[in-house]
Amino acid sequence: MIIKERGRHMYLIMVSLFATALLSLILTPLIRRLAFKVGAVDNPNTRRVNKVPMPTMGGLAIFIAFSAANFFLLRKQYPTNQVWILFIAECVIITTGIIDDIYELKPKQKIMGITLAALIVYFFAHVRMTTLTVPFFGTLNLGWLSLPITVLWILAITNAINLIDGLDGLATGVSIIALFTSGLTGFFFLNVTSTFVSIMMFTLVAALIGFLPFNFHPAKIYLGDTGALFIGFMISVFSLYGLKNATFITIVIPVIILGVPITDTVYAILRRVLNKKPISQADKHHLHHRLMEMGLSHTQTVLVIYGIALIFSFISLLYPISNVVGSILLTVATLLGLELFVESIGLVGSQRRPLLNWIGKMMKKESRISNHLGKKNKNKDKHQ
């Protein structure tokens, strides 16, 4: 009886996910027309890759499909109060994104919208980081630091997704990979997320899959800030369900899963600081820009970054089966490999390659030592 009930439960979820993807697929062309009517259009300029005016606000189709699934198809799977509170916060994010897509908000205004949504989930849904367990040091109660850390986490992840939305299908595909991996990790490996959070992740994946055919190169519609902010906000909130009582592993896993947007954001900030430019000033040196400058086509660049996202996801799946020492070593190896990749493509700048330069010096030094020893051996052979 229990097995039969579980089977019916799983069948309902699968049908709901399919319906969500289908609804997103149907809604996207309608939102495309609406975007043209209200003026949510991305016009070509020196920073953008589109050659013709492109409708934005595509995230509205994803939001509607996702919300419909939550309220009508999967309402019995979720705590009702959590769904309503999250929905209100989502509406704040969506409204911020729509206004930005039509009128172009200033960065500070967007931050205010994201912060308001973050405060809603913090105070009313109790989605927050409250404790932090550090290996070898024990558990730290965050106390009043819980609020700023939670808000900063939401701001950082939301803006990270927004920053990588620079090529057709890029942010959508990377988000699908990140959400699917997060859902699997939470559902099968970690006891930090309840089932409803994993189901919500898979529901958002379904909505994104329905949207992707219209967003992949050559795109017919963009996510816009409506979509990028919404997706980033939801990913940050989902991850916080696992960070309520944070440990080294529960912090590292979402960071690794979101390796692509976080890496691009961190090195963009570093690049602008080193070049004495405002952090909010846009440039053409993001990961996708660098890959295209190396000769990759639009589609090839997107697929390469998908591949990088999959590598990060695979690495994240190793953490739940590793002990503390293994996790630390895995993190160090990942960071070293990442730094080598970043320096090799010149993400911070072609002249700023400290690790590669150090390796080069070590190799030259070793080569000189080898040559010196070789000459000594030759001289010995002559005397003998």
pLDDT value, residue 142:
84
Q: In the predicted model, what is the mean pLDDT of residues 234-261?
A: 81
pLDDT above 90: percentage of residues in the chain? 48
pLDDT value, residue 269:
87
Q: Of 289 and 242, which is predicted with more confidence?
A: 289
348, pLDDT greater than 90: no
The length of the chain in residues reads 384
Listed in sequence order, the residues at least 6 apart from 313 whose beta carbon sits closer than 8 Å to its beta carbon are: 177, 178, 180, 181, 257
279, pLDDT greater than 70: yes
- pLDDT-wise least confident of 12-26, 92-106, 243-257: 243-257
Q: Of 5 and 214, which is predicted with more confidence?
A: 214
- Predicted confidence band of residue 270 (pLDDT cuts 50, 70, 90): confident
Q: In the predicted model, what is the mean pLDDT of residues 217-231?
A: 95
pLDDT value, residue 361:
80
384, pLDDT greater than 60: no
Q: 192 — phi, psi (to 5°)?
A: -115, -15
Annotated binding site: 162, 225
Strands 138-141 and 131-134 turn out to be antiparallel
The one-letter amino acid at 129: M
pLDDT value, residue 323:
84
pLDDT value, residue 230:
98
User: So where are the chain's domains?
Assistant: 2-352, 356-384
**For residue range 136-156, what is the model confidence (pLDDT) as tens digits?**
667 778 889 999 999 999 999
Listed in sequence order, the residues at least 6 apart from 210 whose beta carbon sits closer than 8 Å to its beta carbon are: 20, 21, 22, 23, 24, 25, 26, 28, 61, 62, 65
Task: Tell me if the bond preceding 148 is cis, omega within 30° of 0.
Answer: no
- Predicted confidence band of residue 372 (pLDDT cuts 50, 70, 90): low
Considering the chain, what is the average pLDDT of its residues? Answer: 85
**For residue range 286-316, what is the model confidence (pLDDT) as tens digits?**
888 889 989 999 999 999 999 999 999 999 9
**For residue range 25-82, what is the model confidence (pLDDT) as tens digits?**
999 999 999 999 999 998 876 666 666 889 999 999 999 999 999 887 666 666 667 8
Annotated binding site for Mg(2+): 162, 225
193, pLDDT greater than 60: no
Residue 140, strand partner residues: 132
Cα–Cα distances in angstroms (integers) from residue 84 to residues 24, 48, 90, 164, 342, in the given order: 21, 37, 10, 29, 41
Q: Which two tokens stand for residue 252?
A: 């590292």
Measured distance between the N- and C-terminal CA atoms of the chain, rounded to whole angstroms: 89
